[in-house]
Amino acid sequence: MRLPKFRYMEPKSIKEASTILLDEPGAKILAGGTDILPNMKHKVELPSVVVNIKKIPELDFIRKDNGVTRIGPLTSLKKIYQNESVKAGLPALASAASSVGSYHHQNMGTIGGNICQQNRCKYFNQSQWWRSARPLCVKAGGEICHVVNREEICYSAYSGDMAPALLALNARIILESKEDSREIPLETFFSGDGKAPLNFKRGEILTEIIVPEGSSRGFSSYLKFANRESIDFPIVGTAFWASTGEKEYRVAFTAVDRRPLRGRDVENFLNGKDLSDEVREEAVSIASKAATPVKTSVYSPSYKRNIMGRLLRVAIDEVMRREG
């Protein structure tokens, strides 16, 4: 499978990269390449310019300042799960990174690229030949969403592993462009629009991921349910953060909606409570109603909702076991 033709650029600074993105509306960023290049081979992404940002210095780091963890977007997933401070303080992030794809994807893939990956759908992530059997879907440039059989809307599912873990850890991100820089909660970065899932302003590049100090004071986990343990995207992924001392909890899900979701109803129910068998079962029941997945994969929506609850049960059980 040949890659489509494109122009290739290697900017040496954020400013230079941002200028290219502003001048070329069809430009796309290349980091690890494990998401965009297969999509380009399938001809569902056809950038006019590929902007390789790996030559920009100082985007590959994990730092801890006053308890705040700062991660550069070009940090490989392997470096994240091998980092001692991440392993000890942010276990959800380490297990999410080690659950992505295969060992090779963890060597090549970056945290920034993982967050910014394209949404997925059984009608979209297919070869051109496979897709030619029916009209183009909205996401691939057509007019109809085959999942819901409606026009002008895209229901593809956000399927990244890092985002739910980062949402449960209350992470923030920095977006930089030629002239501007802004820090926003990661949660607001996801648009909920399957066709354009990320709220980038033109010319912006993700330059830092920030995990606040408070998040390392609780226990966190990320559980991924997938068909195979390796080389698979999640059927459902659930991240859970618990500070049992302060009775505060955060839950996030992936692969069940057009964006990674915080389980606010579950959190509102859990907050202020001690974990017990009854509390856990009620939370599990709320969790299985926390999203309305559609049939973007071969797995049915009811099966996905069931798994959302079951993963949360395992996560809460683990916290209860640790508390003894």
Binding site for another protein (CB under 8 A): 1-8, 30, 33-34, 37-38, 41-42, 50, 52, 54, 101-105, 107-108, 228-231
Q: Please work out, in degrees rounded to the nearest 5, the angle formed at the alpha carbon of residue 101 by the alpha carbons of 310 and 299.
A: 45
- Tokens 């009854």 belong to which residue? 278
Instruction: Indicate the burial class of 38 (C-beta count within 10 angstroms; 0-12, 13-18, 19 or more).
Output: middle
**Residue with Cβ nearer another protein (53 or 252):** 53
Nearer to another protein, 108 or 308 (CB): 108
Task: Provide, rounded to whole angstroms, the least separation between the CB of residue 231 and another protein.
Answer: 5
Place of tokens 């970065």: 189
User: Residue 106 or 238: which CB sits closer to another protein?
Assistant: 106
The residue among 225 and 253 lying less far from another protein, judged by its C-beta, is 225
State the CB neighbour count (10 A cutoff) for residue 227: 12
- For residue 274, the minimal CB distance to another protein (Å) is 36
Strands 181-185 and 172-176: antiparallel
Q: What are the φ and ψ backbone dihedral angles of 198, each rounded to 5 degrees? A: -115, 135
**Smaller CB distance to another protein: residue 4 or 67?**
4
Closest separation in Å from C-beta 201 to another protein: 27
Give the shortest CB-30-to-another protein separation in angstroms: 7
Question: How far apart are CB 108 and another protein at their closest, in Å?
Answer: 6
DSSP for 168-231, written as a single string: HTT-EEEEE-SS-EEEEEGGGGB-S-SSS-B-PPTT-EEEEEEE-GGGGGSEEEEEEE-SSSSS
- Residue number, 41 or 178, with CB nearest to another protein: 41
User: Cα angle at 158 between 203 and 162, to 5 degrees?
Assistant: 80
Q: How far is the CB of 11 from another protein (least distance, A)?
A: 14
Q: Which is nearer to another protein, 99 or 220 (CB)?
A: 99
91: three-class secondary structure by DSSP:
helix
| Nearer residue to another protein within complex by CB, 230 or 271 | 230
Q: Nearest approach, Cβ of 54 to another protein (angstroms)?
A: 7
Angle separating helix axes 301-323 and 277-287, nearest 10 degrees:
150
Q: What secondary structure letter does DSSP report for 5? A: P
State in angstroms the smallest separation of the CB of 5 from another protein: 6
Tally of CB atoms within 10 A around 298 = 9
Could you tell me what percentage of the chain is helix, strand and coil, using 3-state DSSP and rounding each to the nearest 5? 35, 20, 45
Look up residue 284 and give its amino acid. Answer: V
